[in-house]
A and B are shown apart, each in its own frame.
Chain A
Amino acid sequence: MPKQPQIDPVLAAHLEHAAGNVTVVVTLRRPKSAKPASADMRALAARVLDETSTMSGASPTSHNVLANLGVLVVDAPVEFVVQLLRHDSITTAALNETPQ
């Protein structure tokens, strides 16, 4: 059973009150055995986005896959982000923008 994702509490608190779009940085679950190929991480990211869209009924406005690092950056409506954080391929999540 996958471990619960490590969600930055600042992001979690932000989602309580957020409206409109939120930009988040999530890391994808990497296989423990070997260094995953970039293509595999891109495929995983695409699957996560598709499944989250289906479950939430919303679509991301924009996204970027940093395949070497296993990172997905998503700008999306709150309902999409909330659903994304429930996906079992997510290991960590944080807000992209931090207080200045």
Chain B
Amino acid sequence: MTSTSTSIAALGFAEVMARVEPGSYEVMRYFSAPPETQSAALAAASGKRKATAARHFEHLGIVVGTVDAAGLAALRADKRVGRVVSPPVLSLIRPVSAKAPDTAALAAATTWGIEYMKVPQLWDTGLSGKGVTIAHIDTGVDGTHPTLSNAIVSFAEFDMLGNIVAPPPLAHDPGAPPHGTHTAGTIIGSSIGGTRIGVAPGARLASAICIEGGNVTARILGAMDWSINQGARVMSMSLGFRGYWPQFIVIIDALRSNGVLPVIAAGNEGPGTSRSPGNYVKALSVGAHDVNSNVAWFSSSQRFRRARQPIVPDICAPGVDVLSAQPGNSSASWDGTSMATPHVAGLAALLMEANPKASISKIEQAIMSTAQRPAGISAERAGAGFVNALEALAAVE
């Protein structure tokens, strides 16, 4: 180990980088040391680690720069480096796997996830999500799919500045990217081949195309802003920035102050990872579990240094082998926290119907406080645990 790396490590820096083009890497270093010490470390790092074009933000304790592959390897090899995260890459949380549904799934009365959460017991009391609008921030949806007929009350597409595209897009395009159709089915779908797939089939969906075909921040924010105008009380979103990017905490605050509960996927990058804004304290973050009560291997989880809700995800929901709709009157079973998230958004709608006067904080607390963690499942991976709709209903009434 060189004296340079020793001096940098002694500062306790947790740095960060990602490839931005072949052969070079964007590097950001977070220092906890005083500015003058950071400067000394930066100079050392620039020399020994081949950093170029470094920019030092001493009051933030941050350096942004570029190193080559050798410099990156040296940083990664330093055992005293706290962690490595990516720059703010915004993307859809894609399913980990997708397959045709098996005959057993299509023969069941409901999907395993709906049964596992005890949602049918809520349906038996007459709840369906009626009167609640859920914002669906995704890739668009095939509204011609029979399981979604009459469920989508508004639809919009957003351009690169977050403006609504006019004239309205093909709101019922059978060629829509499949992700949004799958997640919409889990929220409000009726049935596929006799199997009920949607948690809140009586709710209304306000669906926005704002990811894929241009992954920029303004498209997502445009969709969120629009959701408020649609009267949404729940937002289901299965996308995010890899890592922790605090710039949009104020956005989540704004959603909540407008009465919208943000239900957001934790990510599919496994333990020690998460995405923003799902990893904010004020987001209800969702991980995935399987039918055997195991947290899915891909389900993101991460502990943060904060007093409130330090663990992401807040809860887990069914997210493995989830049967739902696909464009063109088709169906598929997918794995992902994207599949778990709409289960929770649908449940929130059922609870809002049960108690229309309940605040979004009360709804959120009802879901979290009644989640259950099976023996052997750690809070580090599952947060408060696996969602129990029946218990959540009792807590909100």
Residues on A with beta carbons closer than 8 Å to the beta carbon of B254: 30, 68-70
A12 to B60, CA, bound (A): 12
Would you call B62 and A23 a contact (CB within 8 A)?
no
A53 at the binding interface (Cβ < 8 Å): no
B229 at the binding interface (Cβ < 8 Å): yes
**B254, closest chain A residue (CB):** A69
| Chain B 183-240 interface residues, beta-carbon cutoff 8 Å to A | 215-218, 221-222, 224-225, 228-229
**A70, closest chain B residue (CB):** B254
A89 to B7, CA, bound (A): 39
| Chain A 39-73 interface residues, beta-carbon cutoff 8 Å to B | 62-64, 66-71, 73
A82 at the binding interface (Cβ < 8 Å): no
Nearest-neighbour CB distance to chain A for B15, whole angstroms, equals 12
Would you call A94 and B250 a contact (CB within 8 A)?
no
Interface of B is mostly: mixed
A2 at the binding interface (Cβ < 8 Å): no
How many A residues are at the interface, by size bracket?
Answer: 35 or more
How many B residues are at the interface, by size bracket?
Answer: 35 or more
Q: A96-B160, A99-B89 are in contact. Are A16 and B221 (CB under 8 A)?
A: no
Residues of chain A having any CB pair with chain B under 8 Å: 4, 6, 8-10, 12-13, 16-17, 23, 25, 27, 30, 35, 62-64, 66-71, 73, 75, 91-100
Would you call B62 and A98 a contact (CB within 8 A)?
no
Would you call A68 and B20 a contact (CB within 8 A)?
no
Q: A69-B225, A73-B221, A92-B247 are in contact. Are A9 and B62 (CB under 8 A)?
A: yes
Nearest-neighbour CB distance to chain B for A11, whole angstroms, equals 9
A94 to B145, CA, bound (A): 38
Would you call B57 and A69 a contact (CB within 8 A)?
no
**A11, closest chain B residue (CB):** B247
Would you call A96 and B216 a contact (CB within 8 A)?
yes
Nearest-neighbour CB distance to chain B for A18, whole angstroms, equals 13
Residues on A with beta carbons closer than 8 Å to the beta carbon of B241: 98
Would you call B18 and A25 a contact (CB within 8 A)?
no
Would you call A67 and B225 a contact (CB within 8 A)?
yes
